Amino acid sequence: MKRRATAEPADRAAAILQGFDVAGFRCRLVDWFRHQQRDLPWRRDRDPYKIWVSEVMLQQTRVETALPYFLRFVERFPTVEALAAAEEADVLKLWEGLGYYSRARNLLRGARQVMEEFGGVLPDDPEELARIKGIGPYTAGAILSIAYGRPVPAVDGNVLRVLSRLLLVEEDVQKPGTRRLFTQLAAALVCPDDPSAFNQGLMELGALVCTPRAPKCLLCPVREDCRAYAAGRERELPAKGKRKAIPTVDMVAAVVWRGAAVYVYRRPEGGLLGGLWAFPDGERRADEAWEAAAARILRERYGLAVAVSGPLLDVVHTFSHCRWNLRVFQCAWVAGDGAAPDGRWVEVDKLDELAFPASHKKIVAALDGETVSARRGALR
């Protein structure tokens, strides 16, 4: 049933929870989690730093993908202190391929802030934790409940999905007001005796059982509590408004050869993929020939005169806000030293020392001769 949009989230949460067996649900979920949880490295101790790193990595990223990155990261930077002392380039290199690089930069800034303001220890106070760069309400809730045993909610996309089904809440989960409602619901549900197992149990249930497209209701430990299952409506939830279609942008990039070196530049801080290295690139104009676009962009933006010698590969890369159709050309240098503020000529066998975003990492791989033919023809 739709609730009145004008009611305060706390009132609406109380109305939704009427008749719900909160105590029974907590027991069933916590018991299931204690017996069925996956053995994950950040669960082996309650180190707030490791929980922080894992939660940041797991935003927008699956556990299987994040796992090797996490292990490498905490081996190289085992403490807040070690991370705070790191160079940003080294942090980005370890993050290379994981995407959403602002997460890595904020983690580094947050670690430096924890050293300066909190003596290297993540605070267990919600307001102090919320002041740290890159720690939003979800990450704060995860750290407080898992590391410090504080009975606070931690609501991410998985938890939104589980609660919307469990309690048959039909509001659009993408609206800010709805997120406040779910935070109220999670706060009312969280188990005061074991908030760590409860919050991780909700996350684990969303990851393993109450999955987005095909929830495994017959295996679900809280099926008897679930209102969507009882109504046969679990696949209709969570309710989401229509997403806007993201625009596609035609981009060119160039591998400009000068002897055994190629030209690369460091993308400006604060912009898309800021702080990462890239081959010279830019947007193709409507109706402009691809080769002509490559020559124009190299001349106008990078001060390089080149002879374009042919396409190397095509890459399609989707961001949250747009999609790149990227065509990469090989070029022979003719004149110019390169005008990018942070540009340089790098021997091709030294490229592996720099951190590139996933789309440009494919260019580096293509230069190894591994993926050239496989990547051609990918543009739509």
Any contact of residue 209 with ligand SF4 (CB under 6 A)? yes
With 0-12 CB in 10 A as exposed, 13-18 as middle and 19+ as buried, what is 190? buried
Q: 271-307: string of b/e by CB count within 10 Å (b at 16+)?
A: eebebbbbbbbbebeeeeeebebbbbbbeeebebebe
- Terminal CA-to-CA distance of the chain, rounded, Å? 43
55, 171, 204, 234: which one is catalytic?
A: 55
Query: CB of residue 236 vs ligand SF4: minimum separation in angstroms?
Result: 10
Query: What ranges in the chain are assigned the alpha helix state H?
Result: 9-16, 22-36, 48-58, 63-76, 80-84, 88-95, 102-118, 126-130, 137-142, 148, 157-166, 176-189, 195-208, 227-231, 290-302, 358-367, 372-375
Q: Which of 98, 107, 159, 166 binds ligand SF4 (CB under 6 A)?
A: 166
Any contact of residue 28 with ligand SF4 (CB under 6 A)? no
- Is-catalytic flag, 171? no
239 or 272: whose CB is closer to ligand SF4?
Answer: 239
156 or 234: whose CB is closer to ligand SF4?
Answer: 234
Any contact of residue 223 with ligand SF4 (CB under 6 A)? yes
Q: How many CA atoms lie within 13 A of 258 on its CB side?
A: 15
Q: What distance in Å separates the CA atoms of residue 143 and residue 46, rounded to the nearest whole number?
A: 9
13 or 331: whose CB is closer to ligand SF4?
Answer: 13
Any contact of residue 340 with ligand SF4 (CB under 6 A)? no
228 or 273: whose CB is closer to ligand SF4?
Answer: 228
Query: CB of residue 134 vs ligand SF4: minimum separation in angstroms?
Result: 30
With 0-12 CB in 10 A as exposed, 13-18 as middle and 19+ as buried, what is 38? exposed
Q: Which of 30, 202, 226, 252 binds ligand SF4 (CB under 6 A)?
A: 226
DSSP 172-208: -TTSHHHHHHHHHHHHHHS-SS-HHHHHHHHHHHHHH
Any contact of residue 67 with ligand SF4 (CB under 6 A)? no
Residue type, 363: I
- Cβ atoms 357, 101 nearer than 8 A: yes
Q: What distance in Å separates the CA atoms of residue 366 and residue 379, rounded to the nearest whole number?
A: 16
Any contact of residue 165 with ligand SF4 (CB under 6 A)? yes
Query: CB under 6 A: which stretch of 31-39, 71-79, 161-169, 257-265 binds ligand SF4?
Result: 161-169
Strand 323-335 with 248-258, pairing: parallel
Total residues contacting ligand SF4 (rule CB under 6 A)? 15
Residue 144 DSSP class:
I
Any contact of residue 162 with ligand SF4 (CB under 6 A)? yes
Q: Which of 14, 94, 217, 346 binds ligand SF4 (CB under 6 A)?
A: 217
51 or 228: whose CB is closer to ligand SF4?
Answer: 228
Any contact of residue 201 with ligand SF4 (CB under 6 A)? no
- Cβ atoms 325, 251 nearer than 8 A: yes
Task: Return the structure tokens found at 277.
Answer: 């290295």
Query: CB of residue 345 vs ligand SF4: minimum separation in angstroms?
Result: 55
Query: CB of residue 182 vs ligand SF4: minimum separation in angstroms?
Result: 14
Any contact of residue 163 with ligand SF4 (CB under 6 A)? no
Any contact of residue 74 with ligand SF4 (CB under 6 A)? no
Query: CB of residue 171 vs ligand SF4: minimum separation in angstroms?
Result: 17
User: Of the candidates 311, 326, 335, which has an alpha carbon nearest to the alpha carbon of residue 358?
Assistant: 326
Give, as ranges, the residues between 228 and 257 that touch ligand SF4 (CB under 6 A).
228-229, 234
Q: What distance in Å separates the CA atoms of residue 115 and residue 317, rounded to the nearest whole number?
A: 37
Any contact of residue 220 with ligand SF4 (CB under 6 A)? yes
Q: What distance in Å separates the CA atoms of residue 157 and residue 204, rounded to the nearest whole number?
A: 12
96 or 156: whose CB is closer to ligand SF4?
Answer: 156
Query: CB of residue 229 vs ligand SF4: minimum separation in angstroms?
Result: 4
Residue 143 DSSP class:
I
Query: CB of residue 281 vs ligand SF4: minimum separation in angstroms?
Result: 44
Query: CB under 6 A: which stretch of 194-202, 223-231, 322-330, 350-358 binds ligand SF4?
Result: 223-231
Q: What distance in Å separates the CA atoms of residue 20 and residue 29, rounded to the nearest whole number?
A: 14
Residues in touch with ligand SF4 (CB under 6 A)? 162, 165-166, 209-210, 215-217, 220, 222-223, 226, 228-229, 234
Active site residues: 55
